[in-house]
Structure 1
Amino acid sequence: MSIIIRRLQKSYGAQPVLKSVSESFAEAQISVLLGASGCGKTTTLRCIAGLERPSDGEIVIAGRTVYQATPALWVPPERRHVSMVFQSYAIWPHMSVFENVGLPLRAAGVSGAKARDAVMATLRLVGLDTFAERSATQLSGGQQQRVALARAIVSEAPVILMDEPLSNLDAKLRVEMRIEIRELQRRLGRTILFVTHDQEEAMSIADTVYLYHAGTVIQKGAPKDLYDRPATRHAAEFLGRANIIADYEWQMGANGAVFAMPGGLTLPAALAQPPRPGELLCIRPEKWRVRQAGTPGSIAGRVAEASFVGNRTEYRIDTAFGQMSVVQLDAGPRRPGDAVSIEVAADDIRVIGA
């Protein structure tokens, strides 16, 4: 069940939060709305849910218009056939796990054996069937999140909206829940809109990422495409660590194109034509290769900082054109002060907008 928003706007007084956003979110996929606080991602979700009334635009869910500015149309939240998982879980403390999960069915007038079977089947799906009679307040954070997820699933609403549902969990549990949500979506085939500010979370769970900034979607695509091909500096730095180089000149040499750097250094260029004025070079830290000092055709540098982080070593390496962030999986015996060389393939240097 796809969702379409057209020219969606939302302002609080004179402050615009959504600036004429037009997007479609695919059926039976996880679409992640990613961005920093105040970028408009949660407002988009709440407008789709019917918890916020937009200032202008149109919202269509499964071919049915649920909001339209002109002529005026407003479908209340309970008639939009969507369910929602909140950041705070919204678990009723005076109810058992069974009663919490069954609440949407009771609201819809479903009772008796049909409701009981649906609740227990959903609890089995999330691994909480043995906790059915337990008070919801006796559960861990991860278990409470599963209750909230089960409550969203049980009504069989084809669209599930998730507003930063994992932000209150510890790091290990967040990783586990990402996997569970991904697996549940594949089994159930529901359409999920998932809001987060966490880049790693977005990359691990999404079919498509919508990157928000200042009330608009600045880039969208599959997680790997966005990471490998950011359109702008903001996208590059929000989606992961990036080395940004502004001081360069494209030149055509005897052996092909190069980027000429300060100090007479060059980097290989895959471009057959020069970049547009103001465009930047972007190199991801893991794309650099650290070599022995003096390696021909490489860039001379000196290790400023080395941090061992489990399965990788993170370096800060000073060069003639600035300090580069470098990540290597093969942790060599390099320490601060060591002379090294670094190199990068032409295809791993991206030209991006400012």
Structure 2
Amino acid sequence: MSESVKLDVIVIGAGQAGLALGYYLKQSNLSFLLLDQNSQIGETWVKRYDSLILFSPRKYSSLPGFPFPGEPNGYPNKNETADYLKQYQKQFSIPVKLNTKVTQLTKETDRFITVTNDKTYHSKIVVIATGPFQIPFIPKLNDSGLDEQIIQLHSSQYKNPEQLNKGKTLIVGAGNSGAQIAVELHNTHDVYLSTSQKLKFSPHKFAGKSVFWWFETLKIYDVFRSGTKFGEWIKKQPEPIMGTELKELIQHNKVKLTAKTTSINGNEVTFEDGKTLTVDNIIWATGFTQNFEWIKINNVINQKGNPLHKRGVSSVPGLFFIGLPWLHKRPSALLGGVGEDAEYIVSSLKSM
């Protein structure tokens, strides 16, 4: 029988959202602990592709109370980001238990029961901070099988060009990850980028200022909130690709655009417009899905598998979410956006 521990608050996840919560919880009289299945703080960043660069400057990529070290207007890489999260946890002595996988969450009367691989935790409050990047998503296609010689990777598995065969590389998905990988690979491979929608690009700077400076100065995020008319409209729009490198490569035919991928047979890919392409590598930059099957509480997750909440507050007293896209505003899942949500949630739970 696993050991039982009692605390006021259990936070599931010790990424940027969980750490921001920890910062504000340290200012309360509540006992709390962050649980994380990884072996180190920042591990999800370390595992990403080698050339990953944040698209927001350090000045706008900070958690509350501790500015991101380095040139404020520069863009940190993945290792700097992982190191920053480690420094943050140490700076504020935020209690974290690593190598801890939550297998079940239930509620009995006024107490939550969080079951992990080695202990059971009882708490009045639980905050789920597992983030949006949980299970790599690869779409199901009408295919008869992929040739074994074709290298197929999800973007979460991709590290660098050396993993790939020489030759034609198809990247499926044209978000910021797919765009960065395409830019990197154009130097070593014949790159094709499959997308189902027209690409939109946002420059890093406008009139000499970071676009994030303009967002902050014009209070754009205050207008585009979840639940508002403008916010709900923005949600339906494709995310812009930050920077113009990919745009220039496409214009010079150094990265070729294709239509939506519909099927793969052997080494031949078919697109929505009927065109085909023989490939040597496929990278799925198709995002992630969430898994909340371990939550065994009614009225928390809808039929589509998404959390039911209003600004992170669920309908179940004492249960909260943080770190999800559009939790309250557009940057709610980003380093520079989780702090505002964390402060609001800790303020809400302190009154319980």
The TM-score, its normalising length taken from structure 1, stands at: 0.20
Higher CA-based Rg: 1
Q: Going by fraction, where is helix more abundant, 1 or 2?
A: 1
